Amino acid sequence: MTTEAAFVLTLMVLGYAVVSGLVTRWYVAPALIFIVAGVLLGPDGAGVIEIGADTGTFTVVAQLALTVILFNQAAELDLRSILRRGHDSFRLIVIGIPLTIGLGTATALLILPVMPVWEAVCLAAIVAPLEVSLIEALLEDRRIPERVRHALAMESGCYDGFALAALFAALALASDRSAEESWGWFLFRAEVLSLAAGAVVGGVGALLIARSYQRDWIGDTWAQLATLAVALLCFQVGEMFHGSGFVAAFAGGLACAVVAQRTRAEVPTKVSDAAGHLLELLVFAMFGAAAVIVGWRDADWRVVLFAVLAVFAVRMVAVWFALLRTDVPTRSRLFLGWFGPRGIGTLVLGLLVVQEGAIEQVDLITQTVVVAVTLSLVVHSATAPLGIRLVQPDRLAHR
């Protein structure tokens, strides 16, 4: 990335920050704004942002963004609340997520018959994760029943971890890795070992910060920075064990949440939240500059059809079945099924597959990621006000 591109990206962040409150009122995903800006300023536009053939910078920033986001999402989960009154969230996670990946796999095999079975599973796992924080105003709008907002927040926080597990399992079977080593051992390293390493690092780090904070050995600013450091350490330790740094980061965040609840100390995530948002916006700007035009240009109707079904229809069906025999009103089910924006999780999972190599349909997966993410951001941003009006009458039912 050139110095000029870095300057423009920084200026874009400043420009968005000063009007972010206004944008929030319009329910427009910040990521969509940065994608559009990236397209306009990229090689096919003004030519100001040049990522170049080497996507190393893009990959590093995307991985850092997802690491921080996964850690923060897990650290902010109220585990007691999930166990106590999270019946809807539990069903969406335990039933809805596997069903979404399963239906996505079947859809890929039907519409994209050139894909081998395990690569279809990879594709389904890549486009599955939702990121409601892309339209953060939805989670803050009190017109939406608390039950719905809680379920979306919990599901979004857990989705990347589950999708990562499915992706690594499919990669182990889709690639030549299974011939080089036992795929069972690969899965053990990628999942079990990564979870254990992340939990230990996150738990110890959170305990150190909490005890230091209680003894007044550390100030607010350094506590915030220390939490960010713990998130990055979780990722690095996971990679050191040749596992998954992302799974380790998610596990570390969960460990932080447990420590915070037991010590009654708040996990300071404001700085890491800001860092996550900053990195995420930079990723989407670079994504717009480097991939959107090329991805849409090369995609055929089958790719577009799969993306539409995977993002909108598959999730709707999965959510509906997950909430069968519950007292969730019909309008709330429709709202939960419709609003599943795809974002940084889908981008990074796609990058992981591309970097792994040794699979046949890398180009097809890349095109699908581009189409799915951009379609999701446009449609979910445009329909947010209508969705709120749809679900608002359910407010009385949840009082």
pLDDT 10s digits, 379-391: 988 888 888 888 8
Summarize the confidence of residues 252-264 as an average pLDDT.
85
d(CA 284, CA 342) in angstroms, rounded, equals: 12
Predicted pLDDT at 109:
95
Residue 10 vs residues 5, 63, 90: alpha-carbon distances, Å: 9, 19, 40
d(CA 332, CA 118) in angstroms, rounded, equals: 34
Share of the chain above pLDDT 70, in %: 85
Side-chain-side CA neighbours of 38 within 13 Å: the count stands at 27
Across all residues in the chain, what is the average pLDDT? 83
The CATH number of domain 3-391 is 1.20.1530.20: yes
Q: How do the residues of the chain divide into helix, strand and coil, expressed in percent and rounded to 5?
A: 80, 0, 20
d(CA 96, CA 93) in angstroms, rounded, equals: 5
* Phi, psi values for residue 55, rounded to 5°: -95, 20
pLDDT 10s digits, 90-103: 888 889 999 999 99
pLDDT 10s digits, 310-342: 999 999 999 999 999 888 889 999 999 998 888
The angle, 0 to 180 degrees and rounded to 10, between the axes of the packed helices 117-127 and 97-111 is 130
pLDDT 10s digits, 32-90: 899 999 999 888 888 887 766 556 677 788 888 888 888 887 887 766 766 665 678 88
pTM (global) more than 0.75: yes
DSSP track, 89-146: HHHIIIIIHHHHHHHHHHHHHHH-TTS-HHHHHHHHHHH----GGGGHHHHH-TTS-H
Q: Kindly report the number of other CB atoms within 10 A of residue 30's CB atom.
A: 23
Predicted pLDDT at 194:
84
Cβ neighbours of residue 218 under 8 Å, at least 6 residues apart?
209, 212, 226
pLDDT 10s digits, 155-201: 876 777 778 778 877 877 766 554 555 556 666 666 678 889 999 99
String of b and e for 236-269 (b: at least 16 CB within 10 Å)? ebbbebebbbbbbbbbbbbbbbbbbeebebebbb
Strand ranges for 13-108 from DSSP E:
none
- Token couple for 393: 């009458």
Summarize the confidence of residues 269-280 as an average pLDDT.
78
Say yes or no to pLDDT of 398 above 80: no
- Token couple for 356: 């792994």
Predicted pLDDT at 266:
67
Summarize the confidence of residues 108-122 as an average pLDDT.
91
- Token couple for 91: 């069903």
d(CA 169, CA 165) in angstroms, rounded, equals: 6
Predicted pLDDT at 242:
76
Three-state DSSP state, 63: helix
Predicted pLDDT at 183:
54
With CA atoms as reference, report the closest residue to 333 among 348, 321, 346.
Answer: 321
Predicted pLDDT at 85:
56
